[in-house]
Amino acid sequence: MMPDKNKIQLAYLYFIPKPHKTGTPLRPIVSGMNTPTTKISKMLDRLIRPLFDQYVKQATIIDGVHLIRQLDKCVSLGLLKPTTHLCTFDITDLYTMLPQEESIAILKQFLIRFNQTHTRGMSINTIESLALKGGAMGSPFTLTLANIFIWHWEQKLVEKQKASNELYGRYIDDIFLTSNDSIESLHDMLENANNYHLNIKLTREVGSCVSFLDVQINNQDGNLITSVYHKEASEPYIVPFKSDHPRHIFENIITTSLLRAIRYFSTLQTFNHEIRALKLMLLYNSFPSRYIRHYLKKFFQQLSATSISILPMIHDENEYVLLRTKLLSKPTASEHARASRIATTLDNKRQNITVDPLVHTKVYKSQNSTVFNCPIIIHYTHENRYAHYKSTIHKAWFESFYRTPIMTTKLIVGSRNNPNLTKELVRHNPSKLHNR
């Protein structure tokens, strides 16, 4: 955790505009990548964040897919009624409003509450001391500290929602909940929550149709309708097809957009409308029509879709529902990341982790995997003339080391993008040479 005196720098402040909000306010960002306490902060985040993921997962939302699963569960239990109110609210300026000393005290309460008096051999007092040194706002540990602070703040809300058999979930500073009480009672509850803490102020939206993260949620007379939420200020710009990027990036743009659409859109009609909008966006960014058609068809063929006929689109509503149900049940990248973090705190032989099969899989894999522990990683700067560079290296590796012990070592060949105009024009911090 000792800082490198040759790389150490003071933190600096810069601002990013929010063009989607009235008046284009600025978002303050404190960059502390090379500050003296950065390594302490990273260590604390690796230590505490898996504990938060493990013990507070019932009240947290991981991503849009996780939220849709929770909503579908409410529908199956008959909890979504025509009069059910949907509510979203966000905490204003969470990071800048956190009182540090109080946050550290709540962190101590969190560890005691879940019987973590010694975490990986480190006592609570040691963690508290390190948090005071390395947990400054803007550091890597800020997110975890903010999550634990809000965990303490939201206890009354969580208990009330649980007692009323209502849905409650939080993603950092954004909260979603349902309510079958009167609109007056709901506003009173939110007004009381607004007074839980002097520094925590809420901006809320209540109705039958709300947006949360990138999901549009609509309660149409007790029927749940979900779709992708596009901000009004969003523009149809993606990586242009003519840009000098590895080819898999363009394929991934199409695949991830289709995957999100089929998971989010609850009806085939709205899904096909999104596909048409996606095609227009790709054409606008110089994607060839033949290229778009090829990867649309490839995506549906991988899903074993049988009703695409001539056009690369699904035409059967029942088949769409089956495909959507199948994809919704698969863990997302965010869920895999959280399960991997939780797995670092568990022991397969001593802990009961049968509740979450994904975490169990991660623990078993980490404790029984003896292969690929030390991969060899090769990076190169991408150029079009190196289009087949990866396959060439893998082929040479296989031909050279086939049937030798070194084949148990995993070879990873990655590419870096060429410096773009943004990197050339934006100066994050003056270099030391200029300071001299």
pLDDT interval class at 116 (50, 70, 90)? confident
Compute the average pLDDT of residues 330-340. Answer: 91
Task: Tally Cβ neighbours within 10 Å of residue 196.
Answer: 14
Judged against a pLDDT cut of 60, whether residue 425 lies above it is answered with no
Residue 226 CA to residue 253 CA, distance in Å, equals: 22
Contact predicate 65/263, CB 8 Å: yes
Per-residue pLDDT band for 225 (boundaries 50, 70, 90) equals very high
Please report where in the chains the tokens 């029509």 appear, as a residue: 289
At residue 436, the pLDDT reads: 47
Name the average pLDDT for the chain.
Answer: 83
Domain boundaries, the chain: 36-227, 247-334, 376-423
- Averaged pLDDT for residues 34-53: 86
With vertex at residue 274, the alpha carbon angle to CA 269 and CA 277, rounded to the nearest 5 degrees, is 130
Q: What is the pLDDT of residue 424?
A: 57
Q: Are 243 and 120 in contact (CB under 8 A)?
A: no
Give the pLDDT confidence score for residue 259 in this predicted structure. Answer: 94
The proportion of the chain whose per-residue pLDDT surpasses 70, expressed as a percent, equals 88
Identify whether the C-beta of residue 401 lies closer than 8 Å to the C-beta of residue 407: yes
CATH of 36-227, one of 3.30.700, 1.20.1640, 3.30.70, 2.40.30: 3.30.70
The pLDDT tens digits of the residues spanning 237-266 come to 999 998 888 888 899 999 999 999 999 999
